[in-house]
């Protein structure tokens, strides 16, 4: 019984988040290999692909609400944060930042580009699981990013 209890306690100690992670509200950006693109790309903590919008100026997000296109934010929701974003495996902390959106929310940037998810745009289905890149090159204006922060274009 003592051995089982000691094993459980030891497992709990090693499974607990590091002190620097506790209380952190910053969004996590990391790198994952994408089998479809045969490249490493930026993803969020859950492994969902992150995109950039061609028309966003440096350190600004213009896809807010229904601007610049109808349902922009519904189709391309932003990666939001309430704290300093964190770099996970393969991501470069020096390239992470934030921008204050016109709706007042704080959006994560990488290499000065605002990051978004893809929730679908008829007839293109949304990214439903980690590894999906259905928004890649949509309208020739939306792309996933390389770990260096460069849009991956066809």
Indicate the Cα dihedral angle 58, 140, 148, 115, nearest 10°.
60
Domain count, the chain: 1
On the question of pLDDT at 137 being above 70, the answer is yes
Q: Is residue 35 part of a domain?
A: yes
Q: What percent of the chain has pLDDT over 70?
A: 84
Whether the Cβ atoms of residue 62 and residue 68 lie closer than 8 Å to each other: yes
Band of pLDDT at residue 13, cut at 50, 70 and 90:
very low
Global confidence as pTM: 0.84
What is the mean pLDDT of the segment spanning 31-39?
Answer: 97
Q: Is residue 71 part of a domain?
A: yes
Q: Is residue 7 part of a domain?
A: no
Q: In the prediction, which pLDDT does 24 show?
A: 53
Q: Is residue 78 part of a domain?
A: yes
What is the mean pLDDT of the segment spanning 93-108?
Answer: 97
Q: Is residue 130 part of a domain?
A: yes
Which structural domain, as residue segments, surrounds residue 88? 25-144
Q: Is residue 82 part of a domain?
A: yes
Q: Is residue 9 part of a domain?
A: no
Lowest mean pLDDT among 1-10, 18-27, 69-78: 1-10
Q: In the prediction, which pLDDT does 69 show?
A: 85
Band of pLDDT at residue 3, cut at 50, 70 and 90:
very low
On the question of pLDDT at 80 being above 60, the answer is yes
Helix (H, G, I), strand (E, B) or coil at 72: helix
Q: Is residue 126 part of a domain?
A: yes
How many other C-beta atoms can be found within 10 angstroms of the C-beta atom of residue 130?
Answer: 13
């Amino acid at each position: 019984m003592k051995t089982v209890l000691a094993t459980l306690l030891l497992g709990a100690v090693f499974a607990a988040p590091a002190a620097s992670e506790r209380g952190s509200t910053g969004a996590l950006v990391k790198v994952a290999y994408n089998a479809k693109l045969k490249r490493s790309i930026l993803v969020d903590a859950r492994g969902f692909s992150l995109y950039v919008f061609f028309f966003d100026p440096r350190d600004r997000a213009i896809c807010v609400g229904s601007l610049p296109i109808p349902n922009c934010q519904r189709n391309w929701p932003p990666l939001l944060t309430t704290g300093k974003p964190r770099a996970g495996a393969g991501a470069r902390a020096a390239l992470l930042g934030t921008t204050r959106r016109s709706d007042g929310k704080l959006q994560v940037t990488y290499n000065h580009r605002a990051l978004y998810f893809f929730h679908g745009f008829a007839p293109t289905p949304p990214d439903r699981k980690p590894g999906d890149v259905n928004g890649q090159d949509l309208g020739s204006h939306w792309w996933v990013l390389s770990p260096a922060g460069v849009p991956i274009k066809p």
